[in-house]
Amino acid sequence: MSTVQVLLGDRSYPIRIRPGSLADLGEALASELEIAHAVVVTPKRVAVRHFATLAGGLEKSGIQVDRLLVPDGERAKTLRVASSVYDRLIELGVTRQTLLVGFGGGTACDLAGFVASTYLRGLPLVQVPTTLLAQVDASVGGKTALNHPAGKNLIGTLYQPRLVWVDPDVLGTLSPRDRRAGLAEIVKVAAIWDAEFFAWLEGNVPGLLRLERESLAHAISRACGIKAEVVGLDERDAGLRALLNFGHTLGHAVEVVNAYRHVRHGEAVALGMAFAARLSERRGLAPAGTAARLEALLRRVGLGTEIPDLSAQRAAYLRALAVDKKSADGTIGFVALRGIARAEQVRLTPEEILAGAT
């Protein structure tokens, strides 16, 4: 097992990465957190495949387990669904000693984190991500969020889990498309932070897509390590942590314009990263060839790099950008590249972001 520590003083916690360890979570919780009751928030698709293994390990360690099913995908990230979860927690007699477990992809982790941060003013939280994207991004760092029809992740809190438990073996049930979408977030952290890791990714895409254990464990561990380092330096998003939004400004707009249909989050982020790299070159921030190198890696992963219907949907994209949560005084904190592993935030208006884009 490899462990990445998120160092936040008395809110520090470990990310434990171990293939084949889903059934072992109960033993860890019983020894590290002394939990007697856990409520597992999970979508049905994940529950069908993996809940028996997780629950069996918890119950073997003397932990009472209740399952709470939620919708799959972005449909889970609404105030209506959160309210239904609160109703169920009341029915179950949940107290502040009850553990809430986010068990699923990024949307399940977001929803569980939001509910844990708000119910009874805070429940202990453990994230058990089951998608690659969630294992390296949504479960780490403490950001929780719900969507609003006007924009993605506009309603949320900052609330750290007690533990993140990563079993790469559960990724074997993912579709190839979801594997590719998850790799987008790994490419993202390499592109903003670690040139050596970026070069390693360029040479190891086939093994990652095949879910080769050694390569996958290394990629997850390094991606989590980068995010943990950034979060440890800037937990509350005062500056440095904003770099983790690379690709998300246009990526979130793609999701909003498409009403969260027909596009995975990782796919949208890949489109946004390619867009941001090209914009960086157009504005003279990044040297020529930066965008081409990033796009080549994304295409090798199997991800798109051109935003569809950008010109035809320009007005819709401008509306989506206008409500970006990083906006202030009419400008947006847009993450640009100075080169591979060199990123910075620049203030741009929505019109400046789309200027010259086709």
pLDDT in tens, 176-204: 999 999 999 999 999 999 999 999 999 99
Roughly what angle, to the nearest 10 degrees, separates helices 79-91 and 106-118? 60
pLDDT at 195: 98
| Block residue for tokens 């390569």 | 215
Per-residue pLDDT at 330? 86
Identify the structural domains of the chain with CATH numbers, from first to last: 2-172 (3.40.50.1970), 176-354 (1.20.1090.10)
Q: For residue 57, which phi and psi values (nearest 5 degrees)?
A: -65, -40
Q: What parts of the chain have a pLDDT lower than 70?
A: 325, 358
Which DSSP letter does residue 284 get? Answer: T
pTM, to two decimals: 0.92
- DSSP state for residue 242 in the 8-state scheme: G
Report the distance separating Cα 100 and Cα 66, nearest Å: 10
Q: How would you label 347-358 residue by residue, b for 16+ Cβ within 10 Å and e otherwise? A: ebbbeebbeeee
| Tokens linked to 106 | 């990024």
Give the per-residue SS3 of 36-81: CEEEEEEEHHHHHHHHHHHHHHHHHCCCEEEEEEECCHHHHCCHHH
CA atoms within 13 A on the CB side of 203: 5
Up-side HSE of residue 355: CA atoms within 13 Å toward CB?
A: 10
Identify the pLDDT of residue 160. 97
Indicate the DSSP class of residue 138: I
Q: Which pLDDT score is estimated for 358? A: 65
| Terminal Cα-to-Cα distance of the chain (whole angstroms) | 46
pLDDT at 239: 85
Q: To which residue do tokens 């509910």 refer?
A: 115
pLDDT of residue 32: 84
Both tokens assigned to 277: 């790299």
Judge contact between 144 and 110, C-beta under 8 A.
yes
DSSP H stretches of helix in 194-247: 195-209, 213-233
Q: Could you tell me which residues are beta bridge partners of residue 66?
A: 39
Placement of tokens 């995908």 in the chain = 73
Q: What six digits make up the tokens of 22?
A: 């889903």
Taking only the tens place, the pLDDT of each residue in 31-47 is: 888 899 999 999 999 99
Concatenating the DSSP letter of every residue in 309-350 gives TTTTTHHHHHHHHHT-TTEETTEEEEEEEEETTEEEEEEE-H
Per the DSSP assignment, residues forming a β-bridge with 221 are: none
3-class DSSP state for residue 288?
coil
**Could you give the C-alpha distances from 327 to 36, 39, 249, in angstroms and in order?**
43, 36, 10
